[in-house]
Structure formats: C-alpha cells, structure tokens
Amino acid sequence: MRGQRNYIFGMNIMKHMTRPGLFTAGMLLLAADVLFAATPFTPNSQPTGWISTPEVSNYYVGDGQELFYQIDFHKDTWAGNVIARHLNEHAEVQSTGPWDNADPTATTAASVLNGLNFNTGRKIFTYDGSSGTVFRWANLSGAEQTALGSEDVLNYVRGDRSNEQPNGLSFRQREWAFGDIIHSNIYYWDYGSSQSLYVGANDGMLHAIDAATGSENWAYVPSMVIPNLNKLITIPYVHQYYVDGPISIAAVSYTHLTLPTICFKWSSRWAP
C-alpha cells in the first residue's frame, strides 16, 4: 500500500508540460512514491482515518465547483464513513461540504444512514440464485437462515440497533450501522440528472449513496457472504472482510436505454 500523496490532480498540470518537463515531473513522482512508501497494512495497528483513496466529482477543478469524497475508518469500533467536502479552483480541500456546509464531519453518509429506519427506510437487495430479491428473512434459503441463526441477526445487518449491548440480545455494539471501508474505493458516477457514489464495506454490503445528499439510495448484499454475516454480532469481534475489493463501473448500452453496470470484487476468507 502506498502512502497518501497530494498529486491526484497532477494530470491537469502535466498535460500542459513539454516533454522534458513531463520527464522531470515523472521522476519527481517516482521519487515521491519511494519516499512515501508505507509498510504493509495491518488493520489493528493503524490509527483512526481513511484507508482507501479519496474520489472527486471531476478532475478538472478550475471552476471551483467540484467535490471531494473521503473515507473515514475507526479502528476501535470497525466503523466506516464517507465524508464530502468542497474543492476550490486550486484543488484545495475546504472546511465546508455539500451535505453540511458548516461542518462536513457532522452530516456524513454514516450519520444519514443512522437516521433511516432499518425496516422501512432502506432498500437492501441480494441474489437468491436465480434473480435479485429484497434482503429479508423470508427470501433466504433454509441453509442461509440456519447460518444466520435468526431474523434478529438479519435485522442487525440491516441496521437495527435495538439488540446491541447492553440492550436486547446483547449483540456487538456498533458506533453506527455503516461498516468499515478498507480496500474498497469510492466510485463517483454521473448519470446526468443525478450523481451517485458506490463503495463496498465490511458490513456485508455494496452501498449506493446519493452524491448530493449523502443518503443511501440502495445497498446490495452478495449472497456468498450471507452465511458468515452472523460473525458481525460476536463479542469479542474478530474483524471480517466482506465487500472489500475495488469497484469498477461501465455503461452498458441497450437499444433505447443506457444503464450503468456495476462490476465489483472483494477479498474475503468466505468468498473467492
């Protein structure tokens, strides 16, 4: 893993350089890459902060209207988050944001998700072996139900906080329902009329987030992680990797329609 560097906007500058200038810039970036190289990532040894790379709404920032999206990771609680901030025309990250102009850290993807009702406020889907279906107890196979143990566990994954310690069934207490984001990247997609962020998390879901508001549009639970989601409630919690890999998006054109097809992969001890 590489250390954080501040040249994500270098392409805007380098395209105006001469060849000697480009060679010099390339050598400087290579030197920076060596100087900032980090030791292998070990989750439990890391300070609180984001691990994956940030995303921007557009790499041309000259109009001062673009947005900067960063991941936040809390190692003590295995909580994840996405924070949005403004960028000025010099590509400097601002202390204001589109979701909360006064304090971008107050209104975040995690805080907005916490305000949604786990039962009626979220659209969560999975795959039943033949088609997509809503992530509900009645839609799981018998084997999946046995592995999860109870509908209370499924509701915990959906965001139900009522059974977390010290209440109810004393499941593992979470800082919030949004799980940690470590190796997944944020992917910004512009539909023209709306914009979305896609990110995988170790709460077992791929999250689709409204880039303008921070609210979750929908989430997807890959069927192969379902049998191991019961490990999220255990105390002491041993961290698990679920939807943890990089995300790619491509537009697939049909005769009268263009839709984004979301292709993603993850690394997990439970899934290939």
Mean pLDDT by runs of 10 across the 272 residues of the chain is 33 40 43 44 53 88 94 90 96 95 96 96 95 96 96 98 95 96 91 92 95 97 94 94 84 64 52 40
Closest CA to 203 of 162, 246, 174, 165: 174
> pLDDT value at position 92?
94
> pLDDT value at position 191?
87
Identify whether 20 is preceded by a cis peptide bond (ω within 30 of 0): no
SS (H, E, C) 75-91: CCCCEEEEEEEEECCCC
Tokens of 71: 């991941």
SS3 (DSSP) at 22: helix
Could you give the CA distance from residue 202 to residue 200 in angstroms, rounded to a whole number? 7
Q: What is the pTM of this model?
A: 0.79
> pLDDT value at position 142?
96
Contacts of 51 (CB under 8 A, 6+ apart): 1, 41, 71, 73, 181, 182, 183
> pLDDT value at position 174?
96
> pLDDT value at position 55?
95
